[in-house]
A = this chain, B = another copy of it.
Amino acid sequence: HRMDARSLWLCRWYYSSTCQWVLSLTIFLILALAFVETPSSLASTSDVRYRLAPWEPPCGLTEGLEALCLLVFTADVSVKGYLVGWAQFRKNPWLLAYLVVLLVSLVDWIVSLSLVCQEPLRVRRLLRPFFLLQNSSMMKKTLKCIRWSLSEMASVGLLLAVHLCLFTMFGMLLFTGEKDDGPDRERLTYFRNLPEALTSLLVLLTTANNPDVMIPAYSKNRAYAIFFIAFTLIGSLFLMNLLTAIIYNQFRGYLMKSLQTSLLRRRLGTRAAYKVLSSLTPQGVGVKPQDVLQVLQKVQLDSDHKEAIMEKLHSRDALLSADEFQKLFDTFDKRVTKEHPPRPEYQSPFLRSAQFLFGHRYFDYLGNLMALGNLVTICVFLVLDADIRPEDRDDFVLGILNCVFILYYLLEMLLKVFALGLLGYLASPSNVFDGLLTIVLLVLEISTLAAYHFPHPGWKPEMLGLLSLWDMTRLANMLIVFRFLRIIPSMKLMAVVASTILDLIKNMRAFGGILLVVYYVFAIIGISLFRGVVVLPANSSLAPDNGSAPCGSYEQLEYWANNFDDFAAALVTLWNVMVVNNWQVFLDAFQRFVGPWSKIYFVLWWLVSSVVWVNLFLALILENFLHKWDRRGHLEPLAGDSGASSQ
């Protein structure tokens, strides 16, 4: 790492929040291009029956944006290369790969432009997720962790494969029989030949065809059920959970380790800072609080923590020893509890008692009760109106009730502002959420009243403007349902779970990023393989049940919108396969549309997404919750081992 003044300035500039923000924006932009590029997703539906030709960007538009992004990445890699120096650069596989990916992208871009955007394959689209990967150190770490556990996963995979093969052969030997017999129908439906039998049992491993696959044989003789139950029990309950155990075992302590590493790095940093600052004092054995204050003022830090540290520094005069200096920065591990802004002070005793009344938490509870009451009224009207068609409904009573409730919400907000002061009201995120929704509701209600006047019985005005009265009411009701979420912090159990989930989301960015990368790559591959293969049969009408397609087929289930004709549709299709239910329909349909090799793509996606990633996610959730529940027991030893784990 270069250490001269210019490099340091460059380094500081490179890691400044503006610069990093530009880089993140560029990554987002280049990834988002996939929605706009040639199989454009800018149509309201991907259903082959209803879709219109989407707007296609003219050649050069997305390419121009892409060139801009690639320029930013070139600048990024050159700055990084300059900072670490060529010797380091050569040894770092990530940086080398970055360079290669950039070069390939540029070449592909030039080829693309020279062919006036008519090239058959865009290699660079596949490579784009790499920019996301290389920019996050957490994602690189997670990838490394996944790589470590691959060998153990492979061993369970082998076991699963052996299990599958043996049961397939057993099944094929079992289900042969005379004509019109149960076993024979089983053979003709699910065990016709080896690949089909293998597919049937692979799908059974995910339980996606569970009762169906056993029906023909089981209807004839109940003993055949044992074969299928044994298969599911061993495969789905034992071996799949074994995989979960292996992945969890690998990721146990992963969070702990990464916490410890970041703690260690920070300690090393503070130690280095101490060394530098102590060299300023004549004796060289301590740090003057003033020096620290000076440095702190120049440094970008979380303002709450900064203030806490500065307060501590102001209160002492003597030199700081190394231990004290270290302890000073341990404040970063603690959560600083913000002080509530002071409540406004009123003179009149009446106002004071009103303030006490409306600032009390029982007033909050009353608000929750009113929200619940509003929810119940909406619910009652939904039940009452269930069998009436939307255009025949009478919204008079609900309109009046919503008016009343919204007025109450406004009153509640104003009274709270009066009791707590504006700053005090805005200090709590739950109040902000509440107030924002109340204002939106108020605006909606006022505009409804302005457009359609006051409600009266048989209130059925014509549609005016953008939304009909019914749509306005629906929107208001949805917002009221959404506003009901304010009760979460009031219920202790739910608050704990909700805060854990919020913590989890922070920890999960690396996993989410990897999921994004995997989705992106598979979607692009899927588009290049299966684009345009789903076509409506020529003789079919748009009638929903034309009866010509067999039950349970892609056509009968009307899965027409689940295709790979554009990026957004591909994402939803991949999601549906990841959720695993009914994925045999996709296997079967694409086998008919494209060929049996399409199964490889879907099975691979199932392995990556449903088997590996979902288990990874479960492991992460387990790790996070157990860590949270154990925190009291573990935080102390972690904070205590000052240098024991340093290398």
Please give me the residue from chain B that is nearest to A209 by CB atom.
B581
A155 to chain B: which residues have CB within 8 Å?
493-494, 497
Report the bound CA distance from A493 to B222 in whole Å: 36
Q: Is the CB of B219 within 8 A of A568?
A: no
Known contacts A45-B222, A173-B481, A207-B579; 4 additional CB pairs below 8 A are: A169-B477, A211-B582, A222-B561, A242-B497
Chain B, residue nearest A630 (CB): B249
Q: A47 within 8 Å of B by Cβ?
A: yes
Nearest Cβ distance between residue A306 and chain B, in whole angstroms?
34
- Whether B382 lies near A169 (C-beta < 8 A) is yes
A514 touches B (CB below 8 Å): no
A632 to B: closest C-beta gap in Å: 14
Q: Which residues of B contact A601 (CB under 8 A)?
A: none
Tell me whether A194 and B552 are in contact in the complex, defined as CB-CB below 8 angstroms, given that A484-B166, A626-B252 are known contacts. Answer: no
The residues of B that contact A193 with a CB separation of less than 8 Å are 383, 386-387
In the complex the two chains form, what is the Cα distance from A207 to B610 in whole Å? 13
Asked if A64 is an interface residue, CB under 8 A from chain B, the answer is: no
Contacts of A558 in B (CB 8 A): 215, 219
* Residue numbers in B under 8 Å from A617 (CB-CB): 237, 241
Segment with Cβ contacts to B, from A174-182, A258-266, A446-454: A174-182
- For A378, list chain B residues within 8 Å (CB): 169, 173
Question: How far is B248's CA from A391's CA once the two chains are assembled, in angstroms?
Answer: 51
Query: Is there an interface contact between A212 and B561, defined as CB atoms closer than 8 Å?
Result: no
Whether the pair A580, B207 counts as a contact (CB closer than 8 A) is yes
Closest 8 CB pairs of A and B: A193-B386, A551-B551, A155-B493, A245-B625, A210-B581, A47-B219, A211-B576, A241-B621
A71 CB–B CB distance under 8 Å: no
- Please tell me if the beta carbons of A178 and B390 are within 8 angstroms of each other in the complex: yes
Contact between A383 and B194, CB atoms less than 8 A apart: yes
B237–A170 touching, CB < 8 Å: no
Separation in Å of the A86 CB from the closest CB of chain B? Answer: 43
CB-based contact B568/A222 at 8 Å? yes
Would A375 and B169 be within 8 Å (CB), given that A221-B45, A559-B215 are in contact? yes
Q: Which residues of A contact B (CB under 8 A)?
A: 41, 44-47, 49-50, 155-156, 158-159, 162, 166, 169-170, 172-174, 176-179, 185, 192-194, 207-212, 215, 218-223, 225, 229, 232, 236-238, 241-242, 244-246, 248-249, 252, 375, 378-379, 382-383, 386-387, 389-391, 470, 474, 477-478, 481-482, 484-485, 493-494, 497, 500-501, 504, 544, 547, 551-552, 556-562, 568-569, 572, 575-576, 579-582, 585, 614, 617-618, 621-622, 625-626, 629
In the complex, what's the smallest C-beta–C-beta distance from A451 to chain B, in angstroms?
19
Query: Which residue of B has the minimal Cβ distance to A390?
Result: B176
Instruction: Report if A166-B245 is in contact (Cβ < 8 Å); known contacts: A193-B386, A581-B208.
Output: no
19 intermolecular pairs with C-beta atoms under 8 Å apart = A41-B222, A156-B497, A170-B481, A173-B478, A176-B390, A194-B386, A210-B579, A211-B582, A219-B560, A225-B572, A232-B579, A236-B579, A237-B617, A238-B504, A238-B621, A241-B622, A249-B625, A552-B552, A622-B622
From DSSP, what is the main secondary structure of chain A's interface residues? Answer: helix
Are B215 and A561 closer than 8 Å at their CB atoms?
Answer: yes
Q: Do B552 and A173 have beta carbons less than 8 Å apart?
A: no
CB pair A245–B581 under 8 Å, yes or no, is: no
**Distance between A385 CB and nearest chain B CB, rounded to angstroms:** 9
CB-based nearest B residue for A581: B210
Shortest A354–chain B CB gap in Å is 33
> Are B629 and A249 interface neighbours, CB within 8 A?
yes
Closest to A218 in B: B561
CB of A211 within 8 A of CB of B562, answer yes
User: Given A45-B219, A581-B211, A177–B241 Cβ distance below 8 Å?
Assistant: no
Cα of A109 to Cα of B474 in the assembled complex, Å: 60
Cβ contacts under 8 Å, A544 to chain B: 185
Task: State in angstroms the CA–CA spacing of A159 and B500 once bound together.
Answer: 13
- A622 with B248: CB separation less than 8 A: yes
Contacts of A249 in B (CB 8 A): 625-626, 629
